[in-house]
A and B are shown apart, each in its own frame.
Chain A
């Protein structure tokens, strides 16, 4: 890539940050240049964010109607899936899925709730309610 071809159209997912890209200057040397980011990167990042948000909002609606537990909402909200939450908490995936049932979730021991809260960076009160 040439220095003048470095994308500078801006990528709002970068916030105030800029990313470094190597490109060829006029004398043919590869130099490092800060980039404001490209639309292409913004699109794929927002696509991934939107996918997680979509799952979170769907879980939130279900939870509000008593069809799933707040745990599922918070899992997506914190950009995790069942496999990752299982890795982080050390709780088996089938158990986590079972804890998505509101009746089961309501009876969880404080110890288990604490493990979820810790993994998701929440306090117990937040974990058991919807925002």
Chain B
């Protein structure tokens, strides 16, 4: 079977879901950048979830849960996104073929571990990875994985495994495509609303979410035991969640800064450009934190968990002030 969606363009992105959303909406006739997709769906966040363990370490999320971007963006652009999950794997694969035969570009949620084009060292059991399928050639599906710079291919047996992986956030074969796409476009009103929502999330009252979540993590880091293998792996895990898995902490700040620049143009609120620059600097500070932690892991610097904790607390202060100012500008 050979099918190829016409005129589909793969574009490289910093984050899988915002990349998929941006490439998908652009393909279906509403051009939108990744940064705008990320900002307009209020995807920036922070959550420290000690009760969800990933190989013994707490889940630290720097963005809202899976599907949040797709749903948020659909709402802002008045589009109905159609989601389907499947009990039976073969049925899920047949449905994908039917949609491809109709010339559709289809979004999928998959596990990272079973995708053969991922480098071996990057393959961990993470079930909320998003990608687009834009065609099929023989047994290979043609895949636009936004975090890869080039289009990829994946044999059907592997793709089936990746789509029907079990465990936390199991995709259950989830596929999606937009039904009657709205041509609402991006308005000043929707951008302001999205920014206000983000400030609410970041400044919210729940102790494990937003800037308070960062503070909670900082306290946890201060209490790590010195000279303990688990502790070193713990800070390595924080950095990995931040820099590697979906470009986390610093990466998302840079992405949101790019959104704020676009937002300046859409809303005409010039102070947003200044705030974008400030967020860029906060992103740099997240990166410094990661670099410091890695120097400790490598034994180049003395291990000092209190110092790392202080760096996180300083970030909390800066981000609290930042999101307050941001809220003030748009409301």
Instruction: Report A's interface with B, CB cutoff 8 A.
Output: 1, 12-24, 28-32, 34, 38-41, 43-49, 51-52, 78-81, 83-84, 87-90, 119, 121
Contacts and interface: CB of A to CB of B under 8 A. Distances in A.
B124 to A, nearest CB: 6
Interface string B28-56: 00000011000000000000000001011
Nearest to B287: A1
Interface residues of B, number: 52
Interface string B109-131: 00001100001111111000000
Most buried by A among B34, B236, B244: B244
B280 A30 contact: yes
Given A13-B122, A17-B149, A20-B14, A1 B254 contact: yes
B53 A14 contact: no
Contact of B12 (A14, A15, A20, A45): A20
A20 B125 CA distance: 22
A67 to B, nearest CB: 22
Nearest to B245: A45
B244 A44 contact: yes
Contacts of A17: 119, 147-149
A47 B277 CA distance: 33
A40 B251 contact: no
Q: Is chain B's interface secondary structure helix, strand, loop, or mixed overall?
A: helix
B240 A19 contact: no
Interface stretch (B66-74, B77-85, B290-298): B290-298
Given A1-B250, A32-B14, A45-B244, 15 more contacts: A12-B121, A15-B122, A17-B119, A17-B149, A19-B14, A30-B257, A30-B276, A31-B258, A39-B294, A43-B298, A44-B237, A79-B124, A84-B167, A87-B166, A88-B166
A15 B122 CA distance: 9
Interface string B252-275: 001101100100000000000000
Contacts of A13: 119, 121-122
Contacts of A43: 236, 294, 297-298
Contacts of B121: 12-13, 15, 45-46, 49
B34 A18 contact: no
B55 A52 contact: yes
Contacts of B166: 87-90, 119
B314 interface: no
Nearest to A90: B166
A80 B167 CA distance: 11
A87 B55 CA distance: 12
Interface string B137-180: 00000000001110000000000010001111000000000000
A40 B258 contact: no
B243 A80 contact: no
Contacts of A79: 55, 113, 123-125
B135 interface: no
A32 B240 contact: no
B251 A22 contact: yes
A131 to B, nearest CB: 16
Interface string B226-253: 0000001100110110011001001100
